[in-house]
Amino acid sequence: MVRISVICLLLLASAGLVHAQDTSQLPAKWSLQQCIEYADKNNIQINGLRLTEQTAEQELLLSKAAKLPGVNGSASASLTNSKNANPVVGGFQTQASFANNFSVSSSWIIYNGGYLNDVVKQNQLNIQSANLNILQQENSITLQITQAYLNILLAKENVVYLQDLLTTSQAQVDQGQKQYNAGSIAKVSLIELQSQLAADKYNLVTAKNVERQNALTLKQLLLLPTEVQFDIVIPDTLMASALAPSLEEAQKTALQTRPEVKSSELGVQIAQLDLAKAKAGYYPVASIGAGLATGYSDNLSATYLKQLDNNFYQQIGLTLSIPIFTKRINKTNVENAKIEVAQSKLTLKNTRAVLSQSVEQSYINVLNAQAQYDASIEQLNASKESYRIVTEELKVGAANLVDYLTQKNLYVQALQAYIQAKYSTALNIRIYQFYTGEPIKL
């Protein structure tokens, strides 16, 4: 028991070292491209679809092998013990006999209405469909990661601005304290400044919590271990405006390149091959069969090898199976296959319609986001200037505290609206460009 426990501890320690070594290879800060590449290798859904693709490849190999002749061999040895009548002394005597039998048989389907060929074609399409499903899942996880990544950038930028506001509020409180000590402002004015400082601290703490939560969301999306410290790379610039392709051009490109459309098109072809396979049930099946066999029995006087030679025979034949009455099985199979073809065409039509609508919605989102972003810049500039002016006036006593706090709140609202519009525009632009086949990058 002690020895087993020691071995278990060593195995656990080795596993821990391997795990630690694996996590040590991870970057200290993740770029968006690193996140996407890591998810492509480690995402459970994507890897599950890759296994499905491998299964489809095995099915293709199996269907190709089905066109080859099959060969089976058998060998048997038997010992028989029986009672036989003794004609000399009368009665019965026990007698044992030994026998060997050997055979090799082969069969080869040479015609079945093209069924086997259709199965091969269908399995080839299944592999292509599996590849498209992988691409579709990769596209989905890429968009999820991009949105989560931009949410972190948004939260980080919000923290920076709120930190600046907190610094300004602290300076205002310090100045207010001096003015109160000098008797130039009332106690209530100082309390209002302190209250604003407390509110700014609270907003900053909330923003940092949002940043941590967004980072956790992306970390969980990447399936990173809990103990891994996670942070992202902040890009130098972030494109928040771009000349987007026209809606017609984007829809045309998406319908030609998106994997969900290609997968639905393959679905129609696969259904049509199912129909061809069902129609093959009306055709005869021709096959060639051949066999070799020999045997030995010690009840015969010839030697072992002589018996194998004497009993050796060869057989070859042609079998033709013609369906005459199948109790409506073939007809039902054909009708069901026709329904499947019609259903797959409806699925393709729906996929194209949904994709066109999604591209159109994305295009509208880009236009709206860019308009909001442009308006937020103007609003921010105006609020920032008003806030600067009232801050200077407060220092020299030309503005009261109520006007200052009101203008500061307006500036904070304009600032947050600008940050939100900036990252919303960046995200919507990338989603729209992604529909047109452009890779996502910051």
Query: For 42-56, 181-195, 325-339, 408-422, which range has the lowest pLDDT when averaged over its residues?
Result: 181-195
Are residues 49 and 147 in contact, defined by beta-carbon separation less than 8 angstroms? Answer: no
Q: Phi, psi at residue 425, to the nearest 5°?
A: -65, -45
On average, the pLDDT of the chain sits at 89
Fold of 28-67+112-283+327-435: Outer membrane efflux proteins (OEP) (1.20.1600)
Q: What's the pLDDT score for residue 40?
A: 94
CB atoms within 10 A of CB 43: 21
**95 bridge partner residues:** 82
Amino acid at 227: E
What CA–CA distances, in Å, run from 313 to 69, 135, 294, 308, 310?
A: 20, 57, 7, 10, 8
Amino acid at 261: V
Q: What's the pLDDT score for residue 4?
A: 39
- Going from N- to C-terminal start, the domains of the chain cover 28-67+112-283+327-435
Q: What CA–CA distance (Å, rounded) separates 337 from 122?
A: 14
Mean pLDDT over residues 164-179, rounded? 89
Rounded to the nearest 10 degrees, the angle between the axes of helix 115-182 and helix 44-65 is: 170
For 209, the 3-state DSSP assignment is helix
Q: In which residue are the tokens 């393959």 written?
A: 266
Q: What's the pLDDT score for residue 13?
A: 40
Q: Are strands 70-85 and 313-321 parallel, antiparallel or unpaired?
A: unpaired
Q: What CA–CA distance (Å, rounded) separates 173 from 180?
A: 10
If phi > 0 it is left, if psi is from -120 to 50 it is alpha, else beta; for residue 96 that is: beta
Q: What's the pLDDT score for residue 300?
A: 83
Q: What's the pLDDT score for residue 393?
A: 87
DSSP symbol at 282: G
Q: What's the pLDDT score for residue 3?
A: 41
Q: Phi, psi at residue 324, to the nearest 5°?
A: -110, -55
Q: Phi, psi at residue 223, to the nearest 5°?
A: 60, 40
Is 185 or 233 the better-scoring residue by pLDDT?
A: 233
Are residues 29 and 232 in contact, defined by beta-carbon separation less than 8 angstroms? Answer: yes
CB atoms within 10 A of CB 23: 13
Q: What's the pLDDT score for residue 397?
A: 74
Mean pLDDT over residues 166-187, rounded? 88
Rg of the Cα trace of the chain? Answer: 40
pLDDT at residue 243 is higher than 70 = no
Mean pLDDT over residues 146-150, rounded? 95
Mean pLDDT over residues 79-92, rounded? 66
Amino acid at 338: K
Q: What CA–CA distance (Å, rounded) separates 133 from 54?
A: 13
Q: What's the pLDDT score for residue 241?
A: 65
In this prediction the pTM is 0.84
Q: What's the pLDDT score for residue 402?
A: 84
pLDDT at residue 318 is higher than 70 = yes
Nearest alpha carbon to residue 436 among 240, 243, 239, 258:
258
pLDDT tens across 381-427, in order?
999 999 999 988 887 777 788 888 889 899 999 999 999 999 999 99
Side-chain-side CA neighbours of 25 within 13 Å: the count stands at 6
Side-chain-side CA neighbours of 354 within 13 Å: the count stands at 10
Q: What's the pLDDT score for residue 179?
A: 83
Are residues 96 and 79 in contact, defined by beta-carbon separation less than 8 angstroms? Answer: yes
Are residues 176 and 193 in contact, defined by beta-carbon separation less than 8 angstroms? Answer: yes
pLDDT at residue 123 is higher than 90 = yes
End-to-end Cα, the chain, rounded Å: 58
Q: What CA–CA distance (Å, rounded) separates 171 from 181?
A: 15
439 confidence band (pLDDT: 50, 70, 90): confident
Amino acid at 201: K
Share of the chain above pLDDT 90, in %: 72
Q: What CA–CA distance (Å, rounded) separates 409 from 407?
A: 5
Helix (H) or strand (E) holding 371: helix 329-395
Mean pLDDT over residues 101-117, rounded? 95
Q: What's the pLDDT score for residue 271?
A: 97
